[in-house]
């Protein structure tokens, strides 16, 4: 039996009923047995400020960093705001990557899925996030790319994932499992 890899999932939208949170939960259900996805909450992180991080970091910083460090891999699921990632996601990246030289992200295989009710599905956020991860030494899965437009139509009235998007999400999470297996550090 292969090892179960723990995946820290960062969801860029703070809304409880957000499309991206629903997609993250759907991916957790579709994930093969080799992956255990867990959302690591980012909404309570104070804005990154090196002055408060020097001697005694806020508990929210320490807890977040510990959860990310304990994970084997990373999965980012986020909407796009103004052709980039939402402020809470950028803040989480800043908190997790500090102090300099002690990034909680370094070396962990990652992937990004962006979703938006708009037509281009968060392409800008997807690419922006990838750019940050390259700098932070996170090997990002290249294919399949996942920027999903018209995401408001993915869920039925009862909130269940519709059949139209399931095959793509299954392909994505299966490819990601292979990516993790290939790149996770023992």
DSSP letter string over 70-106?
Answer: H-SEEEEEE--BTTB--HHHHHHHHHHT-STT--SST
Quick check: pTM over 0.85?
yes
SS3 at position 16: coil
Distances from the Cα of 157 to the Cα of 46, 160, 174, angstroms: 35, 7, 27
Q: Per residue in 132-142, pLDDT tens?
A: 999 999 999 99
pLDDT confidence bin for 1, thresholds 50/70/90: very low
CATH number listed for the domain at residues 5-183:
3.40.50.360
Q: What integer pLDDT is reported at residue 171 of this predicted model?
A: 98
């Amino acid at each position: 039996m292969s090892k179960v890899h723990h995946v820290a999932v960062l969801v860029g939208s703070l809304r409880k009923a957000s499309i991206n949170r629903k997609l993250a939960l759907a991916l957790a259900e579709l994930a093969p047995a080799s992956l255990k996805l867990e959302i690591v909450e980012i909404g309570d992180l104070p804005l990154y400020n090196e002055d408060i991080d020097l001697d005694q970091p806020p508990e929210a910083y320490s807890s977040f960093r510990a959860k990310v460090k304990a994970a084997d891999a990373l999965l980012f699921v986020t909407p796009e705001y103004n052709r980039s990632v939402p402020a809470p996601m950028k803040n989480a990246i800043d908190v997790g990557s500090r102090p300099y030289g002690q990034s909680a992200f370094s070396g962990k295989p990652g992937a990004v899925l962006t979703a938006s009710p708009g037509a281009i599905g968060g392409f800008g956020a997807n690419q922006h996030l990838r750019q940050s991860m390259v700098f932070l030494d996170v090997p990002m899965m290249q294919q399949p790319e996942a920027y999903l437009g018209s995401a408001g139509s993915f869920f039925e009235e009862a909130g269940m994932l519709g059949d139209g998007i399931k095959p793509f999400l299954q392909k994505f999470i299966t490819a990601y499992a292979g990516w993790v297996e290939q790149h996770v550090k023992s």
